[in-house]
Amino acid sequence: MSTHLDDAALLAAELLARRWLPRQHPKVKRALIDADLWAATQERLAQVGLRLIDNLYADHVSVALLRPAEASVFGEAGLNSHNNIDLPRDAVSLLVVLWALIVLPKRERQAARAANTDGEDQNDMFGKERPVPTAASVSPMVSYRALLADFGVQLGKKTRLDTNLKRLEHHGFIVRKGEDIAEGPLLDLLIDYDAIAPRILQGALGDVLAQAKQLTANLPLALLHPEQEALEELPDEAADDDTNPNEA
């Protein structure tokens, strides 16, 4: 057995044990630049119906089921559900709201900083490729008190909101930092941005987010009161979404 396969087995084992690893982890850093190690790790995981997931805009890597394995693992009922990690509808709605408030602004900031860097490199004869800004450096945080004030009625009031926040934190979607809610390792990794973003930007939250851009980045929730009726549609939209929260 080659050294690459040994390293692949160790990386696969650590991912299975820890669920996610930071991109700066020594084994992950090597796999991201070593195509053979990456392929070997994917091969190892595929043997048990899994695949390695990486996202340029996320600070972690993780694993998810291969498509052919989903039916056997979840069954028809699981595949037809609005999610496959047993989150109740109001928890899915909360996840969608937090994803919209954290990931969408973060992606915009990452793209803007990358564009500014490209502009600076135009005058550099020996310009080199720069990395996308890390999620931690540009990811906004959501105030718990503001979230409760603006979404408490729609999401089950304080007791239910607290319960669902604990669920999302347990699954790695968010991190609690005192009174603030921050991006967790899996929020921008296991939710399909290309599938979810258009539904939000063109749907119930689209007008809210458009208005929020006109204010400071730290005050997006202040504009959400006029949209309460529209936000009541979020559970149904989340239920109809074919994208599973734990899939890339």
Q: Among 38, 53, 80, where does a domain finish?
A: 80
The DSSP 8-state label assigned to residue 15 in this structure reads H
Whether residue 76 is contained in a domain is answered as: yes
**72 shares its domain with 26:** yes
Same domain? For 58 and 107 the reply is no
Total structural domains in the chain? 2
Task: Provide the phi-psi class of 86: left if phi over 0, else alpha when psi is between -120 and 50, else beta.
Answer: left
List the beta bridge partners of residue 1: none
The pLDDT of residue 142 is 93
> Which H helix or E strand runs over 112?
helix 89-121
What is the extent of the structural domain holding 202? 89-240
Task: With respect to residue 182, please indicate whether it lies within any of the assigned structural domains.
Answer: yes
Coil/strand/helix, residue 132: coil
DSSP of 189-224? TSS-HHHHHHHHHTSTTHHHHHHHTTS-TT-SGGG-
Residue 143's pLDDT is 94
In a domain, residue 245? The reply is no
Q: What is the pLDDT of residue 42?
A: 96
**Same domain flag for 175 and 71:** no
Confirm if 172 and 20 have CB atoms less than 8 A apart: yes
CA distance 23 to 133: 13
User: Distances in Å between the alpha carbon of 41 and those of 11, 14, 28?
Assistant: 7, 11, 10
Contact 186, 197 (CB under 8 A): no
Q: Is 12 exposed, middle or buried, given 0-12, 13-18 or 19+ CB atoms closer than 10 A?
A: buried
Measured distance CA(16)–CA(20) in Å, rounded: 8
50 and 103 both lie in a single domain? no
For residue 80, the model assigns a pLDDT of: 58
pLDDT value at residue 196: 83
pLDDT in 10s for each residue of the chain, 248 residues: 454 458 999 999 999 999 999 999 999 999 999 999 999 999 999 999 999 999 888 999 999 989 888 888 877 766 556 667 788 889 999 999 999 999 998 988 888 876 776 555 555 544 445 566 777 778 889 999 999 998 888 888 999 999 999 999 999 999 999 999 999 999 999 888 888 888 777 765 556 555 555 543 444 444 333 334 444 444 444 444 444 544 44
Residue 247 counted as domain residue: no
Report the distance separating Cα 21 and Cα 201, nearest Å. 30
Residue 168, pLDDT score? 96
| pLDDT at site 217 | 47
Cβ proximity of 11 and 31 under 8 Å: yes
β partners of residue 63: 52
CA–CA gap between residue 69 and residue 71 (Å, rounded): 6
Same domain, 132 and 220: yes
